[in-house]
Amino acid sequence: MPTLFDSNKAGDLVLANRIVMAPLTRNRSPNAVPPAIARTYYAQRASAGLLITEATAISHQGQGYSDVPGLYGSEQLDSWKKVTHAVHDKGGKIVVQLWHVGRVSHNKLQPDGGKPVAPSAITAKTKTVLIENGVPTFVDTSEPRALDLGEIPGIVHTFAAAARNAVETAGFDGVEIHGANGYLLDQFLKDGSNQRRDDYGGSIENRARLLLEVTRAVTDAVGGGRTGIRLSPVTPANDVHDSKPQALFEYVVKQLASLNLAYVHIIEGATGGPREIDDRPFDYPALKAAYRKAGGKGAWMVNNGYDQDLAEKAVADGADLVAFGKPYIANPDLVERLRARAPLNTPDKNTFYGGGEKGYTDYPTLPA
């Protein structure tokens, strides 16, 4: 019987266990440069089978929140290199999540104060975070502009360049493409946010085109065995929806199957919310079956609201990896606590976004 604590493989990555630290935005990177305490933060959690970093902007245009890290400058890459060394010194594996937020941004965060970009000029009914004078404040997103057709190859190139920089310069073990949660690639996928009438809009095949082009470019840059992808079929996060999500995402995973990805990371239900959404039913076993039937061999990672009992059931039912989010904020030794069935620390929500060491690197671990 498989367990959470078995060693496992995800493409080229050999993992000590099936427990994954999910990406968690923490807004502690002024000027998009990970701070020195990020080395401690990630190294503390290196007993996870795999660490996925907080979402990290592939370009200045791709940034949507204050004080989130980037991958597009030498200072950023140098700082990330120190993080990866710290994790590797602890025997851990770490990948970086590649992020372009699209319309989920604000003029103040964009180059020269310009409009955020999107598949269509439809403002997201959601909030972003600006940090001014050290205080995080939630504000409405700005009105976006639709990307010109001629700009799209540049987006694809930037994803690939960021992936190459992440692996070859910063020393990451791989990358995860953020195709979820209502950010740029997800905005193109879903017909509620994509109203284009060119080759990137309309049919399922057209709306999936950008995500698939990006994924092929990233696998060409760093190898499929070092590439994962995150998808969220029905989450309402950041004001996205699709009229036929089952058909859309089964098409997507069938196309991904031939790319020999390290893993497919699926958010079940509403990100950070209920695992079942009454008005958005979805058959996740059918999604996995479609991927496997098409020849997909990447590890299948499940995410959203997992506790130990639910995670163990998921593994028994065939999940390869289980991602934990908020529990990892307050429990750097989550693997050890789960193994011992020890109580978990409660995260301090007041320190989730912005700040320093408090609520970031000061949570206690189990006595030695």
Active site residues: 183
Helical residues (DSSP H) of the chain, grouped into ranges? 37-44, 74-89, 152-164, 184-189, 204-207, 209-222, 245-256, 284-293, 308-316, 326-330, 334-340
Phi/psi for 279 (5° steps) reads: -90, 5
- Residues of the chain by 3-state class (helix, strand, coil), percent to 5: 35, 15, 45
Q: CA nearest 365: which of 124, 98, 171, 90?
A: 90
Contacts of 146 (CB under 8 A, 6+ apart): 117, 118, 119, 120, 121, 196
Could you tell me if 1 and 18 are in contact, meaning their C-beta atoms sit under 8 angstroms apart? no
- Residue 111 has what DSSP assignment? G
Could you tell me if 94 and 53 are in contact, meaning their C-beta atoms sit under 8 angstroms apart? yes
